Amino acid sequence: MIKFVSLVNYSFVGFILSISALPLYIATPSIYADLGQTIIVTGTMLMVIRLIDAFTDPLFGNLIDRTSGHRYLRWLNPSLIILATSVYFLFNPPELLSKNLMFVFSWFFIFTLIVSISNGISNISYQSWAFAWSRHEETRNKLISGREVFVLLGLIVASVLIALGSYELLSKIIFVGAVICVISLSFVRKTSIDNVFSSKPKETKFNFFSLGSKKNKLFFTLCFFNTFANSIPALLFVFFFSDTLDLEKVEGGVLLSVYFLSAAVSIPIWRKLIAKIGSKKTWLIAIISSIIFFAFVLLLQEGQFYPFLCICMLTGCSLGGELISPPAILNDLIPVNKNKATLASTYFGLWNLINKIAIALASGFCLPLLGLLGYDPSSVTEVGKESLMFMYAGAPCMIKITCLILMDRFLKIHRA
């Protein structure tokens, strides 16, 4: 069993990590476009930074596994403070930068890189901590569910503040929240958590090829394509609702809020479904439903706020299943030994690597390609709107069909 206070203290970290992660891809293209940086440059640099950051995740994961004592807090606390500080500078660039595009580029690159790396370290230690917390699957699932609920609450708050353009307030909330996290986690560390925080963790002979079973390869490949598909609409949402549907910023904030709120509300239902039919079949159902509901976006026309609101509500419910199923599956893939937490951070580091590569490629693929296809946020044409519509909704649905094929093979291997 897990105490409610400990569950809340642990889960609140997810709020800070999500509220700082969402604006990185949704808000920064708009913020730095106002300073004269093109979306082609921004998209390309987001891809490069994500790739640099992605390949450091497994390394930091292995370092966390080798750290003595309460290894997760020793990495989580400082990385949260670094994350909150660098987010403030990234979201609030000095107006003086606009006089020189090289300064804009340098400021964007440096602080985006720091935000990405510190967020990665925080996420790895945070996610693997849930695995190490208890040997009981029910306790782990409670931690994952609680974490994802707070993640979605963070996304809702971030969505509203992004829509309102309140980046300074957003930055202050992140910083204050990070300080609160560090303080509240000092109480969690006093909780008895099995026996995984020995002063001298076991040495493990690790190489990345040891993760390469057929089942693992299929899982990570599936995660890659699913994250790639989900990243495209996240990157293009701000442009889509304003330029294709011609909606106001406030309406865009409402749409995002409803999307994430629906996901948060649906998580208890998905958790019960996992307990009943398993995490793999639950993920399959979530992917199928997201394809069906999101395909209706292609039928939307200018000014159709309420139909899009319904789609956001339904696809948000699907998102709840897509959020909690993969971590539950990954917990089952981590090899069992006398100290079950030994490779947890390494596995979650690799999982983050796969997801970040997918996000990086989505950034480097979508934004520059849209620019080449004729979409320009400063001068929107009919051709640009059509290209944006297809890239926002058509491409993700096609990619998720690939996910269904991979999931079918994954389930067959699991049965075998």
Per-residue pLDDT reduced to its tens digit, 272-281: 999 899 999 9
| pLDDT of amino acid 194 | 46
Model confidence over 325-382: pLDDT tens digits? 998 898 788 765 544 446 777 788 888 888 888 887 887 788 778 878 878 777 778 8
Mean pLDDT of 139-164: 84
Residue 110 in contact with residue 187, Cβ under 8 Å?
Answer: no
Chain CA centroid to CA 304, Å: 28
**Integer Cα distance of 329 and 160 in angstroms:** 32
Name the pLDDT band for 383 (thresholds 50, 70, 90): confident
pLDDT for res 210:
53
Mean pLDDT score of the chain:
84
Residue 197 scores a pLDDT above 70: no
184, pLDDT greater than 70 = yes
Please tell me which residue, 243 or 209, carries the higher pLDDT value. 243
pLDDT (tens digit per residue) in 279-306:
999 999 999 999 999 999 999 999 899 9
CATH class of 4-188+209-415: mainly alpha
Higher pLDDT, 196 or 139: 139
Q: What pLDDT score was predicted for residue 189?
A: 56
Tell me: pLDDT of 108 over 70: yes
Q: Is the predicted pLDDT of residue 322 greater than 90, yes or no?
A: yes
Please report the pLDDT score of residue 207 as a whole number: 52
Q: Angle between the 39-65 and 344-372 helix axes, to the nearest 10 degrees?
A: 170
Can you give the pLDDT at residue 113?
Answer: 92
Q: Nearest CA to 50 among 217, 226, 231, 216?
A: 231
- What pLDDT is recorded for position 139? 81
Q: What is the DSSP string of 3-58?
A: -HHHHHHHHHHHHHHHHHHHHHHHTHHHHHHTTT--HHHHHHHHHHHHHHHHHHHH
pLDDT value, residue 62 = 83
Q: Cα–Cα distances in Å, from 45 out to 52, 77, 86, 165?
A: 10, 28, 17, 22
- pTM, two decimal places: 0.76
Q: In whole angstroms, what is the distance from residue 400 CA to residue 383 CA?
A: 25
**pLDDT: is 68 or 10 the higher one?**
10
pLDDT at residue 202 in the model = 52
Which of 44, 126, 95 has the alpha carbon at shortest distance from 351?
126
In angstroms, the CA 283 to CA 357 distance is 21
